[in-house]
Each structure stands twice: as C-alpha cells, then as structure tokens.
Amino acid sequence: MRETVSESGPMASAPRAVLLQAVRSVWAISASTLLLLRPLVPKRLRKALRGRHKSMHVKFIRGPLHMLDIEIAKARGVPYVQWYADYKDREGAERPFEDPSVQAIYQSGAEDVEICRRFGLQPHSRLHEFGVGKGRSAQHFVSFLDPGKFSGNDASENQLRFCRQRLDALGLTATKQPRLFRNGDNSMAWLNGEKVDFIWTYAVFTHMPLEDVRAVVANARHMMHGPTVFLASFCENAEQTVERYTHKDWLYNYACFEQMAAENGYDLEDATEHIPAVKRRRDYLRFHRERLVKFTLKREIAAAGADAPRAGGAP
C-alpha cells in the first residue's frame, strides 16, 4: 500500500508559528472564560451571535482554535490536507470500531451504488472512490462489484482503519480484493495509469479548499477513458458564493464546477436529481444544498487520449 500524503507546502516560518501559538493560548483562555457568562445572555441574542453556526462554542472556541492550528501548521510547512488527515486521525484514534457512533455510519451507503447504477455501473465495471472515509459506501460498492474492481483512497489512516475493519467483518476483503490507498496528494496518479469506468466522491469536496478540488478535477482524467463517469457531490452555498464555512467545511456553487469542467476538457451535467430523498434530508451543514455533478471527458479529449498534454497549461 502506498502511503503518500504530500509534505510540500509553504516555507516553514518558526517565528510566525510561535506567535500564532501565543495568540492561540490567549484566545483559548479568554474565549472559554467569556463563554462561562453564556447563561446570562438572553437566548435570542445568543442565537444572533451564533449566526449560521451550531453553537457559540463552535463559533467562538472550537472553530477559531482549529483555524489557528491550521495557520500554525501552515507556518511549519504542513499543507491543509495533512492537517486535516492528522485531525481525523486524532479524532478517531480512541474510538473502537464497535463504537455505536462508528457503526451508525454503516446504516447507509447502498443508495450510492443505486445512483451509480443509473449511470451504467455494472458488476464488471471498475470504480475508484476518492475519499472512502470509514467505508460507508465502499462496503456496498465492494459487495456489488466483481473481485478486483474496487479501489479507493483516503488521506486519513484512521478512516482507512475503520474501512478495512468493515470490509473484513463483511468477509469482502478476501472475496473481493478491494485496494485501499492512504493518499492525500490529489494527484489521482496512484493507479499507475490504470483507467477506471467510474470515479465516485461523496461528501469529500466539502472538506477541501478550492485549490485542492481544482487539482482533483484536473488530475482525474489520468484515470479516465472515453466512457468514464466521474460523479462528485458538493455543498452548494444558498448565497451562491464560494465560502469557507468552518475550519474544515467549504461551500461551493455550480458555476465554479462549470469553470473547472471548461478548463479541463469535460462535459458537465447536473446530476442532483439522482440524490435520493434519504440523502437530501441529511442536515450536515445548515444553509446548504447537497448537489451532485457528473464529469465526462469531451469526445475530442477522449479521442486524443485523456493524458495528452492540454492547451492552456492544465497539468
């Protein structure tokens, strides 16, 4: 298994990191102290202060502290995806596979196979999942597909640990030989030139900054051939802007995916209507709509070979 979470990033800056660390400590103490006064603040004012966030704690303590952690990491030369993978690893390190909060994840995911089947997925199709997480959808993809037809990657080792455990528990590792890569470099080059029929990525772009999403969309064509269908979900901002909503959540709009498609030689289709109601009810983020887009290679790009050098300088 290749383990290549990219280490490249801005030049390390020790004094900046130290300064940010000091700001973090001051913020942690003063915001926590101020928040003790919360019961004295009228409920309506608390709601106004919290705005679009789940709680005052998230808005004024957890969110800003994580943002400072990300800046400290950046000053030390650690790119965002590495910070995020470490954060996911820390978050899940203590949690056993049997924990109800982990097991609850496995109640859904079958609908993702159904979505792909509407676009022609068959047991002999080759599918790669970008950002498998704990294996919520992967368990169903692997079960549906023929042996050796599923591969997936994730930036977080801990997420992959759960995913492997789930596939083992279902007996699918031995019978279906899924391939899992720990990888957060957005290069989409881990299959050494192998082409797939489907690329699936759900609830992953939401946790990626725009430049990383752009890299994945641009690089996906290394895995694509003429008929490949690349399905990706994103959270659409009700205000139709691209916005960093929290330290780890981004809201996008359809227009930015149209631009990425145009820049990289894809046709883009809105596939949101294929998201079943069960998913649309999920209120993971407030003030958003979950959307699904379908990228396919433009006919002339597919004919020239998806890996052919592109005019306009795309990688």
Ligand X SMILES: C[S@@+](CC[C@H](N)C(=O)[O-])C[C@H]1O[C@@H](n2cnc3c(N)ncnc32)[C@H](O)[C@@H]1O
136 lies in the site for ligand X, by CB under 6 A: yes
Cα distance between residue 263 and residue 313, in whole Å: 9
Q: Residue 31 Cβ, how far from ligand X at the closest point, in Å?
A: 27
How does strand 249-251 pair with strand 179-183?
unpaired
Site map 151..170 versus ligand X, x via CB under 6 A: --xxxx--x-----------
Write the single-letter amino acid at 58.
V
203 lies in the site for ligand X, by CB under 6 A: yes
141 lies in the site for ligand X, by CB under 6 A: no
Residue recorded with tokens 């999942």: 129
Site map 85..124 versus ligand X, x via CB under 6 A: x--x------------------------------------
Stretch near ligand X under the rule CB under 6 A, chosen from 6-14, 66-74, 81-89, 167-175: 81-89
Q: What are the residue ranges of helices labelled H in the chain? A: 14-35, 43-50, 56-57, 63-75, 80-93, 100-103, 110-118, 138-144, 157-169, 172-176, 210-219, 254-264, 277-280, 299-304
Cα distance between residue 147 and residue 176, in whole Å: 4
Q: Which residue is nearest to ligand X (CB)?
A: 133
294 lies in the site for ligand X, by CB under 6 A: no
220 lies in the site for ligand X, by CB under 6 A: no
Within residues 169-198, the interface with ligand X by CB under 6 A covers 184, 186
81 lies in the site for ligand X, by CB under 6 A: yes
Of 31 and 191, which CB lies nearer to ligand X in the complex structure? 191
**Could you write out the three-class secondary structure of 269-313?**
EECHHHCCHHHHCCCCCCCEEEEEEEEEECHHHHHHCCCCCCCCC
Instruction: List residues binding ligand X (CB under 6 A).
Output: 81, 84-85, 88, 131-133, 136-137, 153-156, 159, 184, 186, 202-204, 207-208, 212
